Each structure stands twice: as C-alpha cells, then as structure tokens.
C-alpha cells in the first residue's frame, strides 16, 4: 500500500510540474510577442512619417537645384530647409530635428555615388560621429524609398548604427530619377522593462556583425556565431522559436529583417527577452508543489500504516489460533474474509458519502453566491432608480412644458437638479460597501447645511411624491419646518441620499396620500434632522428589524437595502438614528449628526480652464466619449484632433504638432499606455493624460509614461483640472 501511495504522489508531482513549465513557457512567449508587436507598430508609424516628410522636402527647391546642375546650391538649400521640415513641437516650443533624431544628410548623383558636401559645415545636423561615406552609395538610384543602416564611429571610440532613408528625386516631368536624398537618423531605442516578467534587450545584425552595446563582448560573439549558422529561409522571416543562454540566464531570441527589398545590405533586428524572473517564479512554484506533495505523501503513509496495522491484527490472532486448532484457524480466515468485505463496503459507503457531501457543499455555496449577487444587484438597481427619478422626471417636464425652455431661471433650476441626481448616481456603488463601517475620525468631511440639503431633496424627489402621486389620484404634501442650524460634518451627496431614501420610504407608507413633515433643529452639539409621515406605521417586530440588510415588507418590489444603507451612512458620519413608529399612526425618523469644526476644514481653490489655447490630440475608441471631450475642449478655445485607436493616434502625433495628449487606456490593437510609451520615446516632455474606467485599480506610479491618471466618468471641471495638472511643472524634490 505504501508503494502505491508513493507512486501516485510521484506521478501527481511530475504532472503538476510539467503543467507549470508549459504554462510559464506559453505566458512568457505571449508577453514577449506582445511587446515586440507594439514596438514594431510604433517604428512603422515613425518610418511612414519620415518618408512622407522626405518626399515633401525633395519636391521643393531641392529638385529645382538639381535640374539647374548646382550641387553647392543643393546642399545650401537642404541645410536651410531640413531643420524646419523635420521640426516638431514639445510643450509648445519647436525643436528642429529633435523628435525625429536626424543626424546627417547626403545627396547621391544619377549613378548612385555620394556627392561630397561643398564644406564641412554642410551635410551634418549633429556633430561628433563619423562614418564611411562609401557605405551610403548605391549601384543605382531606386524609384521608391529605401531603408538601410550604416555604422558610425563615435567620438569616444565606440561604434553605433544609424538608420538611413533614401528618397528618390524625380525630374519635373517625373520620367526619370535624377538624384536621391539620404538622411541619417538615430533609430528608435527598442526594448525596456515589460509589464509582467523581464527585460527586452535589442540590437542590430548588419554585415555579419552584431551591434548590441547592452551585452558583454562574449555574449555578443556567442549570439553572432549562432546567427551565422541560420539557414537563409529563417533569415527572411521573423520568429521566436530560438532560445539562448546569455551570461548564464536563459533568453528568448527574436530575429526580423528591418529593410526587406532594400538596395542596402540586409539588416536584422535582434531582440532578447530575459526569462530570469519567469524561471525564478517557476522554481518557487515547483518548490511549493514539492512541499505540498511531501505533506500529501506523509499523510498517505500515515494512513496506510494505520490501515495496515488494523488489518494485520486479525491475521496475527489467526496465526496463534491456527497453531492450537486448525478448525479455529479456518473459522478465523473466514471471519477475516468477511471483515475485509465489510471494510471494503464501508469504505465505498464513506467515499460515496464524502462525494455527496462535497457536491452538496458546492451547491450550497453556489446558491448563496447567486442569492447574494441577486440581492446586491437589486439593491444597486434600487438606488439607481431613485437617482433616475428626478433625471427622467425633469427631462419630461422640459419636453412637455411649452414654456419651460422660455423661463431661463426655471430651466437652469431643472438642469441643476438633474446634474445633482446624476452625480449621486455615480457614487451609489462606492457607498454600498459602507454598511456599518465604524467612523475612525480619519475621513475628511466638509460642512453641510441641513436647510439647503432638505430643499435639494424635496426638489430632487418631486417627480415621485407630487407628479407621480397626482397622476395616480393621490395627494401627498411635504411640509418643511426648518430652523437656523449650524452646518454639520458630513458628505453632502451621502446625506442627500439618506434624506431621499427616507422621503421615498414615507411615500411608500402612504398609498392613500398624506403629509410628510421635515424638521431641523439644534440639540447640544448636534444637528437633528426629523422626517415624519402620516402613513400606516409599523408593528413592533417590523420596527426592530427594518434597519437590517435585505429585510423588506414590500414583497418583490422591495430590496431591503434602503433603510440599511441609511443606517450605514449615518454610522459612518459618527451620527445616531432613532425610529419611532406605531401601527396606524405613522413613522418618525430622527437623525443626529455632529456639527462641523471649522479648524478641520481646508478651502481648496477651484480649478479653471487654462487660458492659453492648446492643440490637443484625443484618442478613444468610444465615439460618445470622443464627442464629449472634443465639445468640452473646443468650448474652452482649444484646437482638437480626434483618433479612434492607439496606432492611429500615434500616427497623427508623429505627423502633427501637439501641446497635450488625452487617451483612453483599453483600446484594440495598441493600448493607451503602450501608445504613451511610444510617444515618450520620441517626445519625453509631452504631457499625457490617461482616462480609464479602471482608475480605482491602477497606480500612476506604475505607468511612468503617464503624467495624470483620471478615472471615468469625468466631467468638464475634472477635465480642466487634469489639463492644468498635466501642464503644471513637476515639483522639485
């Protein structure tokens, strides 16, 4: 039996470790391919922008200079027009050539040879690096753009690789290529820390040499020798099937030709993805599996020992008896056989009972989850419906009343009430978790005027207690009796929800109509809010249980969350709630809230829209969100350009000039944070605002390419605050 236990445990460990290894390999490759794809998308967009600008450049005075056979004039013209053509804007200021990283330029004659610049000052946009100009020459001029790479020698003795783009210059009738413009750029730096596992190191394999300065010379030689032995068909396409140990650390290797079809020598991008972190986590999981398996093995050995001891005892007794009497031994053997059969039968019964118990337990757990989910969903719908009542009601009043839109004061009053209800609806879900949470004194509440709160709640609930009641032939009136009470300490929207729930509860308690009286007064160091109705009242049993979650007397119409939420909010504010009710004589709720202490309140200056007109790029895959953002920004005097996806947004950014970028996070193809990372590579000081519906789960510090993180939904005032924060200089530590 022990051998069986050990064998089963060993097989389970082997299967578990094999599954762990396969899952880690699959996840690591998927993460690596996602990063490489995003970086290639950014590089392709940049290349498209560069080729278009080069094409526009050569069609101007440069082509005219070649037709006039004036090579000196060609270089002088390019020296004047190139910086402006390659200029972009960072933070509102133009930086010639900075974003596109242009370093030098040359011209090729009609045979593909380099035309020497007339003087040392011409042909260079950045000083210091030198290269062999023969590497720029071609055997013939191409009819389309070409991409190549050239090795440059730096001032400190090191080497680097620059990317060159060849743009053909056609004659005026476009029948022949008369020359070509060659511009050298610093390539986009690929690689970096991935969001989940390791680091990507990138380099270039050119003319049989690997340029990867981040690696040691020994590692570079090792990878280069591996690449030299690859068959030609693998060099023509990208793949991720290679693995390589670099300095003792396993890496995945990605190889892709960066200039297929070019007249220049083929160049291959080499990317290495470190598996160190993934393997470390895999080793941790393996040890955890081994530990669990060891515990299971010990338990199995102990159980088998106990069973063996119990089964061997009758055998030992049988041996003693058989020495005295053969008949007794035969009887003992028969008894032992019966005992074994009973043991197997009982074991089978226990196994069946255990399986039934586990199935019943899972069924109970599932039913409890579904019940809780249904109750909470119903509660959320209850409070959202409360908030939607004034929104839908006042919208219908504006539509049906012919004079409502003519009365500006009344119209603005309706709109203010609708806006208040919408804000309350946005905070319903966040306050569901506040049931019975004790007040620790650490929360910062503001001053709340009870009289203003009562007037707002009466207006907010008017479509329910007045309009809807009158439509049903019932008259309900609200009588406010308000005293001069100092402000209480609290959150206005939460206290407004308390009063709204009490008013709706009172309306439900008066199906034949009646009066709701709302009073405010001062008692000692607290403000008291009293809501009394002339309804049906409660029995003593209902009065004692009405504040419990999910307790309701309304049948399927009720959720049992309204009064329990009132209780939770009052508790969170450090207040008290008292309930007085008698069957047939109505119900009165008394809520006591502590007064606001002035010294704890800090006045925060309201944010205003930036006075300077900005050019802003807005990227979001949701059309209604793009429309709202564009309307709000244009209302503040800004110029707005819209993009639907991350790749489209990156293309528009590189082709245009912007002061600010506002982007959504979750978008198909390229996410907002991936697009922001690509933008920061070419424009490090560009302010970027990220909008997301997952704002409460994200940390801006973990997304270094983002300047401001804003959670949806967002209003006009919050949008202005985010723009002001993004444009403000970072504090100096």
CATH number for the domain harbouring residue 720: 3.40.50.2300
Sheet of strand 476-481: strand arrangement = 476-481, 514-523, 526-533, 587-594, 576-581
What does pLDDT average to over the chain?
78
Structural domain contains residue 137? no
Confidence of residue 561 (pLDDT cuts 50, 70, 90): low
**Better-predicted residue by pLDDT, 72 or 287:** 287
Closest C-alpha among 74, 41, 95 to residue 651: 41
Does 648 lie in the same domain as 567?
no
- The residue written with tokens 């946005």 in the block is 426
Residues 448 and 520 reside in one and the same domain: yes
Predicted confidence at residue 318, as pLDDT, reads 53
pLDDT of residue 55: 81
Number of domains the chain is built from: 2
Give residue 538's pLDDT.
Answer: 86
Q: How far is CA 509 from CA 465, 549, 587, in A?
A: 12, 19, 9
Q: State in Å, rounded, how far the first CA of the chain is from the last one.
A: 69
Contact (Cβ atoms closer than 8 angstroms) between residue 102 and residue 184: yes
> Do both 522 and 625 map to the same domain?
no
* Token output for 701: 């510090």
Span 664-681, average pLDDT: 91
**Domain annotation covers residue 245:** no
Q: Listing from the earlier edge strand, what are the strands of the sheet with 177-185? A: 114-115, 102-108, 177-185, 159-170, 146-153, 130-131
Yes or no: say if 119 and 79 are a contact pair by the CB < 8 Å rule. no
- On the question of pLDDT at 40 being above 70, the answer is yes
CA angle centred on 310, ends 306 and 314, rounded to 5°: 160
- Judge if 582 and 461 occupy the same domain: yes
Q: Cα separation of 563 and 497, whole Å?
A: 11
The CA-atom distances, in angstroms, between 480 and each of 11, 386, 452, 456, 564 are 77, 21, 11, 12, 25
What does the alpha-carbon distance between residue 292 and residue 296 come to, in Å, rounded to a whole number?
Answer: 6
**How many other CB atoms sit within 10 Å of the CB of residue 307?**
13
182 close to 136: Cβ distance less than 8 angstroms? yes
Question: At residue 228, does pLDDT exceed 90?
Answer: no
- What is the Cα–Cα distance from 693 to 712, expressed in whole angstroms? 5
Domain endpoint, select from 600, 633, 659 = 600
3-state secondary structure of 46: helix
User: With bands split at pLDDT 50, 70 and 90, how would you rate the model's confidence at 17?
Assistant: low
pLDDT in tens, 310-331: 766 665 665 655 567 677 777 7
Look at residue 123 in the predicted model and tell me its pLDDT: 77
Same domain, yes or no, for 489 and 543? yes
Q: Which of 569, 600, 631 is the last residue of a domain?
A: 600
Residue 494 lies in a domain: yes
In this structure, the strands spanning 249-257 and 446-448 are unpaired
pLDDT in the model for residue 20: 64
Mean pLDDT of the 273-301 span:
75
Same domain, 690 and 593: no
The sign of the dihedral angle between the CA atoms of 560, 566, 572, 578 is negative
The rounded percent of the chain whose pLDDT value lies above 70 is 76
Give, as one character, the DSSP assignment of residue 251.
E
Q: How far apart (Å, rounded) are the C-alpha atoms in residues 428 and 376?
A: 12
What is the mean pLDDT of the segment spanning 179-197? 67
Instruction: Identify the CA nearest to 40 among candidates 206, 238, 223.
Output: 238
Question: What tokens were used for 642?
Answer: 């819209």
Q: Do 591 and 551 share a structural domain?
A: yes
Distance from C-alpha of 66 to C-alpha of 238, rounded to nearest angstrom: 40
Q: Which of the four pLDDT bands, split at 50, 70 and 90, describes residue 5?
A: low
Question: Over the stretch 191-215, which tens digit does the pLDDT of each residue have?
Answer: 544 443 456 788 888 888 888 888 8
Give the rounded distance of the alpha carbon of 263 from its chain centre.
43
Q: Which SS3 state, helix, strand or coil, does residue 613 take?
A: coil
Q: What's the CA gap between 145 and 484, in Å, rounded?
A: 80
* Domain identity same for 504 and 557: yes
Q: Is residue 641 part of a domain?
A: yes
* Closest of 147, 146, 148, 142 to residue 178, by C-alpha: 142
- pLDDT score recorded for residue 118: 81
Average pLDDT (564-581) is: 89
CB 579 within 8 A of CB 544: no
* pLDDT at residue 478, as a whole number: 96
- List the domain range (segments joined by +) for residue 623: 615-727
Burial 273-290 (b: 16+ CB within 10 A, else e): bbbeebbeebeebeeebe
What is the model's pLDDT at position 733? 42
Q: Could you report the per-residue pLDDT of 91-145, keeping only the tens digit for each?
A: 444 444 444 678 888 888 888 899 888 876 677 777 777 888 888 899 888 888 8
Q: Is the dihedral of CA 455, 461, 467, 473 positive or negative?
A: negative
SS (H, E, C) 522-552: EECCEEEEEEEECCCCCCHHHHHHCCCCCCC
In a domain? residue 444: yes
CA distance 218 to 223: 9
Which range is least confidently modeled, 281-290, 370-379, 674-683?
A: 370-379
Q: pLDDT value at position 565?
A: 79
Same domain, 433 and 575: yes
Bigger pLDDT: 65 or 654?
654
Same domain, 434 and 490: yes
541 half-sphere exposure, CB direction, 13 A CA radius:
3
Q: Is residue 594 part of a domain?
A: yes
What does the H/E/C string look like for 143-201? CCCEEEEEEEECCCCCEEEEEEEEEEEECCCCCCEEEEEEEEECCCCCCEECCCCCEEE
Give a yes or no: residue 504 inside a domain: yes
pTM of the complete model beyond 0.75: no
How confident is residue 28, by pLDDT bands cut at 50, 70 and 90? confident
Q: What is the CA radius of gyration of the chain?
A: 39
* Pair 442, 553 in one domain: yes
What is the tens place of the pLDDT at every residue in 530-542? 999 999 888 887 8
At 414 the pLDDT is 81
Supply the CATH number for residue 573's domain.
3.30.565.10
Compute the distance between CA of residue 161 and CA of residue 462 in angstroms, rounded to an integer.
Answer: 73
My answer on whether 567 and 675 are in the same domain is no
CA distances from 115 to 74, 122, 179, 249, 688 (A): 10, 12, 10, 48, 43
The answer to whether the bond into 713 is cis (omega within 30° of 0) is yes
Report DSSP letters for 280-315, one per residue.
HHHHHHHHHHHHHHHHHHHHHHHHHHHHHHHHHHHH
Residue 467 domain-assigned (yes or no): yes
What per-residue confidence (pLDDT) applies to 349?
87
pLDDT tens, 710-727? 887 788 888 999 999 999
pLDDT, tens only, 606-646: 455 566 899 999 999 988 888 889 998 999 999 999 999 99
DSSP letter string, 316-382: HHHHHHHHH-HHHHHHHHHHHHHHHHHHHHHHHHHHHHHHHHHHHHHHHHHHHHHHHHHHHHHHHHH
- Sign of the torsion angle spanned by Cα atoms 482, 487, 489, 493: positive
Hey, how many other C-beta atoms are within 10 angstroms of the C-beta on 379? 20
558: Cβ–Cβ under 8 A, 6 or more apart, which residues?
A: 552
Last residue of a domain, one of 576, 600, 624: 600
- 501-529 pLDDT per residue, tens: 899 889 988 999 999 999 999 998 999 99
Check whether 696 has a pLDDT greater than 50. Answer: no
Q: Which residues pair with 203 in a beta bridge?
A: 270
């Amino acid at each position: 039996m022990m051998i069986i236990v050990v064998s089963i445990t060993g097989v389970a460990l082997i299967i578990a470790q094999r599954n762990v290894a396969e899952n880690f390999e699959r996840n690591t490759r998927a993460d690596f391919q996602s990063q490489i794809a995003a970086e290639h998308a950014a590089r392709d967009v940049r290349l498209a922008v560069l080729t278009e600008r080069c094409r526009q450049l050569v069609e101007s005075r440069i082509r005219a200079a070649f037709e006039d056979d004036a090579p000196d004039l060609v270089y002088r013209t390019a020296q004047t027009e190139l910086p402006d053509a390659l200029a972009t804007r960072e933070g509102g200021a133009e930086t010639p050539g900075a974003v596109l990283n242009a370093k030098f330029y040359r011209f090729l004659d009609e045979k593909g040879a380099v035309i020497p610049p007339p003087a040392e000052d011409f042909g260079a946009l950045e000083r210091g690096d030198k290269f062999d100009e023969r590497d720029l020459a071609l055997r013939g001029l191409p009819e389309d753009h070409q991409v190549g790479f050239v090795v440059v020698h730096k001032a400190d003795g090191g080497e680097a690789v620059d990317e060159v783009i060849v743009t053909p210059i056609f004659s005026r009738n476009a029948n022949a290529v008369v020359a070509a413009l060659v511009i050298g750029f610093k390539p986009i730096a690929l690689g970096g820390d991935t969001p989940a596992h390791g680091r990507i190191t990138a380099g270039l394999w050119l003319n049989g040499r690997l340029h990867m300065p981040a690696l040691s010379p020994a590692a570079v030689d090792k990878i280069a020798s591996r690449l030299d032995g690859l068959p030609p068909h693998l060099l023509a396409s990208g793949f991720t099937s290679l693995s390589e140990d670099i300095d003792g650390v396993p890496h995945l290797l990605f190889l892709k030709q960066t200039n297929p079809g070019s007249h220049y020598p083929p160049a291959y991008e080499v990317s290495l993805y470190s598996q160190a972190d993934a393997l470390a986590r895999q080793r941790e999981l393996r040890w955890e599996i081994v530990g669990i398996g060891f515990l299971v093995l010990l338990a199995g050995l102990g159980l088998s020992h106990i069973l063996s001891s119990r089964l061997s005892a009758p055998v030992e007794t049988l041996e003693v008896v058989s020495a005295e009497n053969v008949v007794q031994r035969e009887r003992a053997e028969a008894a032992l056989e019966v005992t074994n059969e009973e043991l197997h039968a009982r074991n089978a019964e226990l196994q069946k009972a255990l399986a039934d118990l586990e199935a019943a337990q899972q069924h109970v757990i599932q039913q409890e989850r579904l019940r809780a989910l249904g109750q909470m969903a119903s509660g959320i719908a209850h409070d959202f419906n409360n908030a939607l009542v004034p929104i839908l009601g006042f919208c219908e009043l504006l539509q049906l009343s012919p004079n409502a839109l003519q009365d500006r004061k009344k119209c603005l009053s309706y709109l203010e009430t609708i806006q208040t209800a919408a804000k309350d609806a946005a905070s319903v879900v966040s306050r569901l978790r506040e049931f019975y949470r004790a007040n620790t004194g650490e929360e910062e509440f503001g001053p709340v005027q009870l009289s203003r709160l009562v007037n707002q709640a009466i207006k907010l609930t008017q479509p329910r207690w007045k309009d809807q009641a009158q439509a049903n032939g019932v008259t309900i009136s609200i009588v406010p009796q308000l005293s001069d009470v100092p402000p209480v300490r609290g959150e206005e929207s939460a206290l407004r929800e308390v009063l709204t729930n009490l008013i709706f509860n009172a309306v439900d308690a008066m199906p034949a109509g009646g009066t709701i009286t709302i009073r405010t007064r001062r008692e000692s160091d607290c403000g008291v809010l009293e809501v009394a109705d002339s309804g049906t009242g409660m029995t003593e049993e209902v009065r004692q249980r009405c504040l419990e979650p999910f307790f309701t007397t309304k049948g399927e119409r009720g959720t049992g969350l309204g009064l329990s939420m009132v209780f939770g909010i009052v508790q969170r504010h450090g207040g008290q709630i008292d309930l007085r009710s008698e069957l047939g004589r109505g119900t009165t709720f008394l809520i006591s809230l502590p007064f606001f202490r002035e010294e704890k309140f800090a006045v925060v200056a309201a944010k205003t829209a930036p006075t300077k007109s900005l050019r802003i790029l807005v990227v979001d895959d949701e059309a209604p969100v793009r429309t709202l953002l564009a309307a709000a920004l244009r209302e503040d005097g800004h110029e707005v350009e819209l993009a639907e996806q991350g790749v489209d947004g990156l293309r528009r950014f590189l082709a245009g000039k912007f002061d600010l970028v506002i982007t959504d996070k979750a978008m198909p193809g390229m996410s907002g944070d991936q697009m922001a990372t690509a933008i920061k590579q070419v424009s490090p000081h560009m302010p970027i605002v990220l909008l997301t519906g997952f704002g409460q789960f994200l940390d801006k510090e973990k997304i270094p390419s983002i300047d401001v993180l804003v959670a949806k939904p967002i209003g006009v005032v919050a949008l202005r605050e985010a723009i002001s924060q993004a444009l403000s200089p970072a504090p100096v530590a």
